Amino acid sequence: MTPRRLSVRLRATLAATAIVAAALGVASAVLVGVLTDSLEESAAVEAQRRATVAADLLDAAEPRFMRADGETAWGSRLAPDVVVRPAPTVPPVEGLDITRVVEPAVPVEAAAPAPGAFAVATLPVRTEAGDVLVQARASLQPAAAALETLRAVLLPGVPALLLLVAGLTWLAVGRALAPVSAIRRELADITATDLHRRVPVPRARDEVTRLAQTTNRTLDRLEQAVGRHRRFVADAAHELRSPLAVLRTRLEIAPPQPLTAEALTDVERIQRLTTDLLLLARLDAGAPPEHEEVELGQVAAEEAMRTRPRTDVRVEMRIEPGTLVHGSGEQLRRLVANLVDNAVRHAATTVVVGLRERAGEAVLEVADDGPGIPAEHREAVFDRFTRLDEARARDAGGSGLGLPIARDIAAHHGGTIVVADAAPGALLRAVIPVR
């Protein structure tokens, strides 16, 4: 079984959300990395500045005492984040008669944000008191606080932004696909009887508009083709009626003989077929039915009592009187006649015609005690020219148009015909609204 694919709207929303999520993820990582490097570099520059300022102050700061660890403590003019310690490795500067030399060639060493969270800069300096190293530090706590604030904004902000993007994309795609949904609904409702209908054309000049225009042009061509076909069937059937009537008259007045009787039977069958084709052509044309009041119970009783070729089949009636419907009396009579004729043709001994009214609907049921209709053929029997029993004689089997005509008449009156469950035999149920 092929898995059901996601809708275009959902796929577009997921794709847009995934793209924005990837872009935000990359942008957030780059932003955090660049900001981290920038803040650490700023701290290192600040540490170097402090070391340079401390070196400049060493001339005015006189040593007070020597600590036990060998480092010299200097006066209070030095910043608290500056440490001065002896540096015997400072190279001498020859040819210069000065008391202090700041070595610019020695690079500044910036410490990474280690557990101490400080950036440290070291400068070697020669003073009157000797060679020393000036070490200054700058705290990385502001950088850490700034990064923490950024993370606090990004962690809830990125999902919220993704939800906003998903919602806006869902609404935008739904709005863009609304004309497509309208076209689909209209096409789903168009049948062979209302090919005059057209799909709505959006005002926008985009691909959806061109799709609607192409669909309407296709419907135009389909309506014309179906119209030509229906006119051909109606004209052919109409043209056949007159010569068939003349032929039947001649056969009826001809001297009786077996060949004449067989020819008369075939002519009668062809006449019924042409009449059926004419009725189908009118039904396919979609002309509205007549709105006359029809006493369906009386029509069903008259058709049930009508004499048929099979005199060995008994027709029983279970008809509730007073069931009134609106429509074409001629077509409704044909509906009942086709159902009863079909049941009599297949019954073993008995046919039951029932009519009742329930919930604003007239329910006509015709049952027989024949072989029944297999479940897999319950829809096929309503196809035109379909006959399940191919071995049946042509004069007894009909043309295969009785049940299709009955269903078309029911649909023409807003009703339905189905093959219901019954054992033994077959049960055909027609439901027509009572209006």
**Higher-pLDDT residue of 101, 197:** 197
Reported as a single tens digit per residue, the pLDDT across 204-252 is: 888 888 999 999 999 898 888 877 877 777 777 777 778 888 888 888 8
d(CA 98, CA 111): 32
17 and 127 belong to one structural domain: yes
Domain assignment present for 171: no
d(CA 125, CA 62): 15
Domain assignment present for 174: no
Query: Is the confidence at residue 60, as pLDDT, over 70?
Result: no
> What is the pLDDT confidence band of residue 61, given thresholds at 50, 70 and 90?
low
Query: Residue 293: what pLDDT?
Result: 87
Instruction: Give the chain's mean pLDDT.
Output: 78
137 and 265 belong to one structural domain: no
Domain assignment present for 382: yes
Percentage of the chain lying above the pLDDT 90 cut: 13
Average pLDDT over residues 63-89: 52
Least confident of 108-117, 164-173, 345-354: 108-117
Which of 234, 269, 287 finishes a domain?
Answer: 287
d(CA 308, CA 317): 16
Give the predicted TM-score (pTM) of the model: 0.53
Three-state secondary structure string covering 212-257 = HHHHHHHHHHHHHHHHHHHHHHHHHHHHHHHHHHHHHHHHHHCCCC
355 and 394 belong to one structural domain: yes
280 and 293 belong to one structural domain: no
Which of 229, 259, 287 finishes a domain?
Answer: 287
Query: Is the confidence at residue 106, as pLDDT, over 70?
Result: no
The count of domains in the chain is: 3
Least confident of 106-110, 323-327, 354-358, 410-414: 106-110
227 and 306 belong to one structural domain: no
Reported as a single tens digit per residue, the pLDDT across 159-176 is: 899 999 999 999 998 888
Domain assignment present for 179: no
296 and 419 belong to one structural domain: yes
> What is the pLDDT confidence band of residue 371, given thresholds at 50, 70 and 90?
confident
Question: Where do we find the tokens 């073993």?
Answer: 348
Query: Is the confidence at residue 425, as pLDDT, over 60?
Result: yes
225 and 295 belong to one structural domain: no
CA 239 to chain centroid: 50
49 and 84 belong to one structural domain: yes
**Higher-pLDDT residue of 348, 5:** 348
> What is the pLDDT confidence band of residue 388, given thresholds at 50, 70 and 90?
low
Domain assignment present for 400: yes
Domain assignment present for 150: no
Side-chain half-sphere CA neighbours of 359 within 13 A: 1
95 and 216 belong to one structural domain: no
Reported as a single tens digit per residue, the pLDDT across 248-279 is: 888 888 888 888 888 888 888 887 788 877 77
273 and 213 belong to one structural domain: yes
Say how many residues make up the chain: 435
**Higher-pLDDT residue of 232, 427:** 427
Residue type, 114: A
234 and 336 belong to one structural domain: no
Domain span including residue 259: 190-287
CATH number for position 424? 3.30.565.10
Domain assignment present for 158: no
Q: DSSP strand E in 2-116: where?
A: 65-66, 72-73, 82-86, 101-102
Domain assignment present for 152: no
298 and 420 belong to one structural domain: yes
